[in-house]
Structure 1
């Protein structure tokens, strides 16, 4: 991400993104579990086990399944977060340079930031789809007893549905990541332009928290409908001779809106935005801090 500082080799950008991603997932993962449970709950679900909202879902998971269930499936996200976030920031940096050169711009602009973020999101999506599929199937309440862990999900999915099933939901994941990253990086650029420049390290951290949190919130507002559909696509096993109810992104959005109402497209929005709003701030702060650390370390070696 262009920040006006001396550029670093690709490996440093990749490492900084990886560390930022793992830091964010360790702090915010339980909200992701709650978000997925709410998204997968059928319309009109009733009974003692039905979730009435985010807090109710959180309480019932802890009470009925134990606190550790809030970290169910975290192996896949942990393994995913390093390459995912590393790809996000590294691709954003590379795409930014490409688009600036292509359009003859010396510095980033608002429109280039949005375009760069969208390009980075599309690149990131190809990395994360198999991990996301494993995570979704482990987080689903109905998976209790069905899968013993990450490896079991992979083995059973490939054996029963074929190797290409690991990329179920690729198209919806592409749209989800394009929209989130376009909003995230576009907002970071705009917020940084609007707020006073920091003169201290503490001030820079506060600015990054603000910019990253606003970016994460806007990105979440933009991409939640595609996230709802993606969760359903990836949790629907492929059956030979049958066309899945949820198969493509925008037809899936139309199906959910028609059958369950527009509000259903924002199922799980509260835990999702609570995770990815502050989570976006954590990402940016840790990424910026690691880039500064690597930059200082490299300058010290060259001195």
Structure 2
């Protein structure tokens, strides 16, 4: 009889035999993570956009939730989730698959290795470069659907309209900024997660509590540190919906930073910090819990 999931020793399983397992587990974890926390992510997007209408200016998470749900209905908080679901599965499969492959290649799975944290950071950064190339267009579509008074109700319609009006570059105008943000985000996230997991669970056995605590704290730290870059990314990805000429003609991260500084000073770089941390803490905990669970379940099966 096969061992139960609780008895599986992760670190004792051959890592080079689980690439497809890691990719499938990553895909399932990614969809779970993004779908559950999507309403908070929608609030974060709206708080980061420089709105011209007072109706689209929110003072906090509670204020945004109440006003959006009362004036637009609860469904407005889920608008764009279809784009995330379509992109998150493949992107997370690539993400975790690349992570496990590079980590193994760089010697991160060698027990007692002195450079494990370096291998983990390189693996995390490599995973991000690969997955973001796939996910960026879906993220653009998602944010175009999340903004106040968005005209889009279908991800496909949104994609067609953005492409027709702004061309292919609209889907990748934020990619350099996204990488500038997510490479350090992922490196920090994976490093903190692996270190905390080892500290809290040195035996390496399946431990849901450990994966949730380590994943949640890793997500909170990484999310807070990279918030300024996320604000810039949101401006670039939603520029086509703005009536402000300066925002509409922003060409990249430097332009976005200049706009943020001119409009809101230093505090502008912290726009959406609370919902971003609130999103990443539980979603990362859920993501890592799901990933480790699915990895164990699939291997056990």
Q: Please give the TM-score of this superposition, normalised by the length of structure 1.
A: 0.86
Q: What are the within-5 Å matches in structure 2 for residues 21-60 of structure 1?
A: 21-42=30-51, 47=54, 49-60=56-67
Aligned residues: 287
Deviations, residues 242-267 of structure 1 (Å, cap 9, x unaligned): 99553222452344134311121121
Distance 1:47 1:117 in 2: 40
SS of the residue 1:141 aligns to: coil
Instruction: Classify 1:207/1:250 alpha carbon distance in 2 versus 1 (closer, same or farther; 3 Å).
Output: farther
More displaced stretch, 169-178 vs 255-264:
255-264
More displaced stretch, 190-199 vs 263-272:
190-199
Match of 2:186 among 152, 176, 181: 181
* Alignment RMSD: 2.7
Match of 1:247 among 228, 231, 251: 251
Deviations, residues 15-69 of structure 1 (Å, cap 9, x unaligned): 1001111111221111100100101134xx6745531111101111100000111
What stretches of structure 1 move > 4 A for 4+ residues in a row? 105-108, 198-201, 241-245
Match of 2:281 among 270, 277, 283: 277
SS of the residue 1:41 aligns to: coil
**For the Cα contact (< 8 Å) 1:198–1:207, is it kept in 2?**
no
More displaced stretch, 87-96 vs 5-14:
5-14
Instruction: Classify 1:148/1:46 alpha carbon distance in 2 versus 1 (closer, same or farther; 3 Å).
Output: closer
Query: Do structure 1's residue 289 and structure 2's residue 293 form an aligned pair?
Result: yes
**For the Cα contact (< 8 Å) 1:229–1:253, is it kept in 2?**
yes
Deviations, residues 228-253 of structure 1 (Å, cap 9, x unaligned): 111110111399x9995532224523
Partner of 2:5: none
Instruction: Classify 1:193/1:11 alpha carbon distance in 2 versus 1 (closer, same or farther; 3 Å).
Output: closer
Q: 1:107 offset after TM fit, Å?
A: 7.4
Distance 2:167 2:255 in 1: 24
Instruction: Classify 1:238/1:140 alpha carbon distance in 2 versus 1 (closer, same or farther; 3 Å).
Output: closer
Match of 1:74 among 69, 81, 84: 81
Match of 2:21 among 12, 21, 26: 12
Structure 2 gaps of 5+ residues are: 1-9
Partner of 1:89: 96
Deviations, residues 102-141 of structure 1 (Å, cap 9, x unaligned): x9x9576122222221121111110111101100100011
**For the Cα contact (< 8 Å) 1:161–1:238, is it kept in 2?**
no
Distance 1:216 1:254 in 2: 27
